Amino acid sequence: MRQALAGEFDEFVAARWSALLHLARLLTGGDRHRAEDLVQDAFVKLWFVWPKVAHEAPEAYVRKVMVRAAARSARRRWWGERPVDQVPETATAGDVSATVAERSRLEAALARLPPRQRAVVVLRYCQDLSESQVADALGCPLGTARSHAARGVARLRQLLDDVSESVG
């Protein structure tokens, strides 16, 4: 029985790793290393409750763990790294460069949102969760989730417009 549960856990991790890593990158403001740590920590916590949540909603559990951990870690004042204003020039394929630049611009704007707003925007619009699922993941009332979503999207638009005006 235990081996069957372990096998199911391994299959779940293999199937959902990349999608959850993408979510974690958005939650951490694009920091790949912090995102990998966030996903790994969430999977460790999932392992301990796997028999309870395996047949219910393991992905919802992992998302909730990741959102809460990302919010806690965002409150830390120092990560031992220094962000830079300009990303170093790198060579990219011709056709992909516009897509990569747009995604980088969006990730940079997301990183400037407060952690709760960023979490709501990412869960609602990148993960396509319903408002009630977002509220449940954050452990807050539905109205609070809606408010964070509205403010986050408005701020994101403002940030993206500011970047467009300064470039153009």
Neighbours of 59 (CB within 10 A): 16
CA distance 120 to 55: 26
CATH number, domain containing residue 150:
1.20.140.160
Question: Is 118 among the domain residues?
Answer: yes
pLDDT at 75 over 80: no
Categorize the per-residue pLDDT at 79 as very low, low, confident or very high, splitting at 50, 70 and 90: low
Domain limits at 137?
Answer: 2-75+97-167
**Mean pLDDT in residue range 68-86:** 69
pTM metric for this prediction: 0.59
pLDDT of the residue at 55: 85
Q: How many domains does the chain have?
A: 1
- How many CB atoms neighbour CB 54 within 10 A? 16
Query: 89 or 125: whose pLDDT is higher?
Result: 125
Which strand (E) or helix (H) includes residue 97? Answer: helix 97-111
Whether residue 39 is contained in a domain is answered as yes
- Domain presence at residue 69: yes
The 3 state secondary structure assigned to 111-152 is HCCCHHHHHHHHHHHHCCCCHHHHHHHHCCCHHHHHHHHHHH
**Residue 128 within a domain:** yes
Question: Which of 19, 6, 35 minimizes the C-alpha distance to 129?
Answer: 19
Average pLDDT, the chain: 84
In a domain, 88, yes or no: no
Inform me whether the pLDDT recorded for 155 exceeds 80: yes
Contacts with 81 (C-beta within 8 Å, 6 or more apart), sequence order? none
Residue range 124-143: mean pLDDT, rounded = 90
pLDDT at 81: 60
32 assigned to some structural domain:
yes
